[in-house]
Amino acid sequence: MSAVTLKTTGAKMPLTGFGAWKVSKETCADTIYNAIKSGYRLIDGAQDYANEKECGEGVRRAIKEGIIKREDIFITSKLWNTFHAKEHVEPMLKKTLEDWGLEYIDLFLIHFPLAQKYVDPSVRYPPTNVNDVEKGVAEYQNTPISETWAALEACVDKGLTKHIGISNFNAGLIRDLLTYARIRPSVLQIEHHPYLTQPKLIDFVKSQGIAITAYSTFGPQSFIEMDHPAVKNQPLVLEHDVVTGIAKKHGKTPGQVVLRWATQRGINVIPKSNNQSRLEQNLQNESFDLTEDEIKQISNLNINLRFNDPADWNPSVPIF
């Protein structure tokens, strides 16, 4: 399997991984185990996904059965918004390690560049994007990213995580972070699909030696079950004539084509599927190459359509 070399350490991060977002607790342990058994060597999780214990069960079962060793698999998790204060970062990373049942995480990301009011895990965990359940309103606090980043760097020093990174950051915030970072971010994770290509951000991030992970690579497909209003206004990426036409030409699935559109450009992807056949098909996206013209055709589908946007939260928090 192809891999991305992380500039900060020289470590290899698999180009195609498995994303745990929206994998139910009931099926998660088996799904992660089956993904590993099928060949996946990167699992992307987060505190907010509410299934890290189950993810850990799947990973540890695969290790126990000798399918993999710990060093064979790359585990990503993310620090939620309510834990940005310096005194909370390390304890919450240790909480993540406890949930996974692991001694270290390979990559720990700041999930959003937003600091919300702290809620003790004994009160509510896993966290959510609201601090007041009854009012349904998020409360924010003035914790600078520099404070959170310094605490994450200390976690690297202690061996709790091998790498640190960022998610949902814009170029301005990344430029600012690079002025004070003692340990540079290894990875930026962003929403990236044919309807939201973000070429200028990607070019800048690559120029800084930061790897890119794309989430929601299938675009609206990831948000159908969430009844996102924008899904109704555009054809599904996997049903678009451009994508289906290219898929037919190569004898591949539309999903494989869209994933290859990303991976062929060196962008790491983390698709999720509960279907074993599609799970295996997604992993095989590197078995063929698109032409430069085909990549351009897919990129030209861009309409700057973002689905995961804090501007839609309550209250609205525009960050892009």
Binding positions for substrate: 111
**Element at 227 (helix H, strand E):** none
Read out DSSP for 234-257? Answer: S--GGG-HHHHHHHHHHT--HHHH
Rounded to 5 degrees, what angle do the CA atoms 122, 87, 183 make? 125
Yes or no: say if 15 and 40 are a contact pair by the CB < 8 Å rule: no
DSSP-assigned beta bridge partners for residue 44: 19, 76
Q: Is 40 a catalytic residue?
A: no
> What gap in Å lies between CA 105 and CA 90, rounded to an integer?
12
Instruction: Name residue, tokens 């600091």.
Output: 115
What's the per-residue H, E or C state across 13-73? EECECEECCCCCHHHHHHHHHHHHHHCCCEEECCHHHCCHHHHHHHHHHHHHCCCCCHHHC
* Alpha-carbon separation of residue 99 from 126, 253, 258, 272, 307 (angstroms): 11, 35, 33, 21, 29
Strand 187-191 versus strand 161-167 pairing type: parallel
> What gap in Å lies between CA 223 and CA 234, rounded to an integer?
12
* Alpha-carbon separation of residue 40 from 59, 60, 121, 218 (angstroms): 11, 14, 31, 19
**Catalytic residue among 33, 40, 49, 195, which?**
49
Yes or no: say if 196 and 219 are a contact pair by the CB < 8 Å rule: yes
C-beta atoms surrounding 183 within 10 Å: 17
* Alpha-carbon separation of residue 71 from 6, 74, 104, 108, 291 (angstroms): 16, 8, 10, 16, 35
Q: What are the catalytic residues?
A: 49
